[in-house]
Structure 1
Amino acid sequence: MSSRAEIWSKRGPLRTLARRFGLDRRGIAAVEFAFLAPILLVMYFMTMEASQAIETSKKVARLGSMVADLAGQITNSSTKSDLEGIMKLGQTALLPYARSAPTITITGVQLSSAATPTATVAWSRKMVNGTFSQGLAVGSPVQIPPALAIQNTFLIKVDSSLAYQPVLAWVAGGNNALNLTAFNGITMGESYLLRPRTLTKLDCTDC
């Protein structure tokens, strides 16, 4: 049987190696980076995505404002072609964002002559994914702010919306490359009400 001194003499080199291992700091930076790199990358991409989403939201609002302003500058009665051209032009405000298409609706709103005027749809056109169709039903009621409820006046209402697709979840072809179903669309939207600039009422002859 080995004596206690022999056992301790055999353990000595092991203790020395263990002590050296504990004091060795070579490669510790690489280990720390391996732990921190994923967190830093996630923070970077989330910050980038948030900034892009905020900027796109501003562009959606700018789109609605631009479409309403252009429609309000029409000097004669409008047509479907006029309104559709304005909506096509308006969607360029979203560039370079192109992962989803906006929905734009231009509506002519007529206020009645009653003491408490009611607002109804005179005409309406809608663009969805580049396809045009009838918007709101003619004669249907429209909610407007009380400050704009003036007898026998006319308003142009533009609604713009977008199902924002994060760049981290989607590719150029429109496929959810990472299968992140939680990011299938963040809805952004804005509504604008303006009066025609040169006309008391803007008609649409073939809407």
Structure 2
Amino acid sequence: MNIQAKMLAAASAVRRFLAEKGGVAAVEFAFIAPLMLAFYFLTMEFSQGIDTNKKVGRAAILAGDLVAQSPVMTGDELDAIMKIGEAVLQPYNRSKPEITITAIEITDEDTPRALVAWSRRFADGVSSRAEKPGSRIDVPKELMSRDSFLIRAEADLTYSPVITWSGTSETGKKALGLMAAFDNIPMGERYYLRPRVTREISCADC
């Protein structure tokens, strides 16, 4: 075979190669599919995270509002209210919230002080005293009115995305690499409310 024939054969092979498009779509899909799936799961996790963060705030304001509407509280009533706040987070259940209700008394002094009247925390299904009664507590300056009473409601949650929770819940191993960046995201909200019915709200066994 002379050189001209070889060149013609090579050109013909190149034309056949360029004309063959049967596997192009499969190759493109193999490159694009992982990126599309990654974007899909990240978008899903992002939207679920935003929704859960809103529910954390809703749990805090709901618990605080129910307490603010009561003239007197008991430890059992506070526990029931905080359990309602925990239920607000459903169907999310990959981690448990910590809900704290604190009653704050602001003294009638020239320089008022914010003191804990009573405080109760609900975490992992167990209730306990949070802040020590009579101890100083920080309150925003705009709320430091002499001889007043406040209810502070807090909800905190360590958010576990499903892409990390499903990978670590069965093995017990910590997430690594990119998954670790999305693991255990802290979320929290805090609200201050004034009593609706009486000047202050007592709780003898808190």
Asked if TM exceeds 0.5, the reply is yes
Q: Distance in 1 between matches of 2:91 and 2:154?
A: 21
Gaps of 5+ in 1: none
Q: Distance in 1 between matches of 2:93 and 2:33?
A: 30
Q: Assess if the C-alpha contact under 8 Å between 2:160 and 2:183 holds in 1.
A: yes
Aligned length: 202
Give 1 or 2 for the bigger CA radius of gyration: 1
Q: Distance in 2 between matches of 1:172 and 1:35?
A: 24
Q: Distance in 1 between matches of 2:88 and 2:169?
A: 20
Residue aligning to 1:37: 33
Q: Assess if the C-alpha contact under 8 Å between 1:101 and 1:129 holds in 2.
A: yes
CA deviations on 1:116-155 (whole Å, 9 max, x unpaired) are 2110111111111111111012222222122221111111
Kindly provide the amino acid, as one letter, of the partner of residue 130 in structure 1. Answer: G
Residue aligning to 1:143: 138
TM-superposed CA distance for 1:23, in Å, is 2.7
Given the alignment, which residue of 86, 89, 114 partners 2:84? 89
Residue aligning to 2:180: 181
Residue aligning to 1:198: 197
Kindly provide the amino acid, as one letter, of the partner of residue 64 in structure 1. Answer: A
Q: Assess if the C-alpha contact under 8 Å between 2:157 and 2:186 holds in 1.
A: yes
Q: Identical aligned pairs, as a percentage?
A: 42
Given the alignment, which residue of 125, 131, 152 partners 2:147? 152
Matches within 5 A, 1:1-207: 6-10=2-6, 12-75=8-71, 77-171=72-166, 174-175=169-170, 179=175, 180-207=179-206
TM-superposed CA distance for 1:17, in Å, is 1.8
Secondary structure, counterpart of 2:109 in structure 1: coil
Q: Assess if the C-alpha contact under 8 Å between 2:101 and 2:152 holds in 1.
A: yes
Kindly provide the amino acid, as one letter, of the partner of residue 154 in structure 2. Answer: D
Gaps of 5+ in 2: none
